[in-house]
Amino acid sequence: MPDTAQIINGKLIAQQIRDELAVEVVEFIQNNSVVPCLAAVLVGDDPASQVYVRNKVKACEHVGIDSQLHRLPADTTQDDLLKLIAKLNKDESVHGILVQLPLPAHMDTDLVLQAVSPAKDVDAFHPVNVGRLVQGKPRFLPCTPHGVMQLLKRTGIETAGKHAVVVGRSDIVGKPLAILLAAKGADATVTLCHSRTKDLASFTRQADIVIAAIGKPEFITGDMLKPGAVVIDVGVNRIDRGLVGDVEYESASKVASYITPVPGGVGPMTIAMLLINTLRAAQQLEL
């Protein structure tokens, strides 16, 4: 086994996916005389959210998808936000709607996300879309979990019969990722761990694939891994020396066979999957 893990380059893989998608978008526009359109809604002036939304809008341009950016001040009422979402739901030129999280504290995030039409919910957060995912009949796949699955697939990492340990049980990453890994076709055996798991290292040391999505900087260390494990780091944490993941990269990269960096691993994939969902939404609405 090599002394250091092979790096899974999410930037490169995301670029390949965007190149493939750009061809598909051109075909769709030619066949339907309709340009897929993503409407992003940004409430308030959270700096990280502004960067994320800007990157999403830029990525749309690169593949030929139209985008709208609706900026609302932080003191916008929930009622006004819901009115905007209702307007976008009815707008036939808009195929996907993205409400950038986090929302200001005075808003009910669940209520707002449920207001987005399931047919335009390109983040796949709506309960209808979550239910379809659980049943194995997804309309859209949630962006970050789908991005992780694509990283594994396109790197040639086999999941069938492997033991995957997902660390983190969020609705956005941990839970849907566990479902996708266990689904027919992926066929992994999945253990879902979290911050309250007793002796977490005893689970991660058994794993062929470790996916860290717990939101704690450098939480998974090399001594918690089985030699040759595949490590996917979903975490993005800002600390004094910059951005780090949920995995302590230096020690983990000496034990793992493959590892994703932060930044440049899962992050670019999330945006690429959002673009795929926007095209799929347009395809379904134009049927």
By annotation, the residues acting in catalysis are: 56, 100, 123
The Cα 35–Cα 3 span in angstroms is 48
Q: Work out the end-to-end distance of the chain between its first and last CA atoms, rounded to an integer number of angstroms.
A: 50
Report CA torsion sign: 271, 276, 281, 286.
positive
**In which residue are the tokens 């995912």 written?**
133
Residue 12 has phi, psi (to 5 degrees) of -65, -45
* Amino acid, single-letter form, for residue 279: L
Report CA torsion sign: 86, 91, 92, 93.
negative
Residue 210's alpha-carbon distances to 23, 89, 205, 206, 229, in angstroms, are 34, 38, 9, 9, 7
Query: Residues 5, 259: contact at Cβ < 8 Å?
Result: yes
Residue 121 has phi, psi (to 5 degrees) of -85, 80
* Amino acid, single-letter form, for residue 287: L
Q: What is the chain's Cα-based Rg?
A: 19
**In which residue are the tokens 């975490």 written?**
235
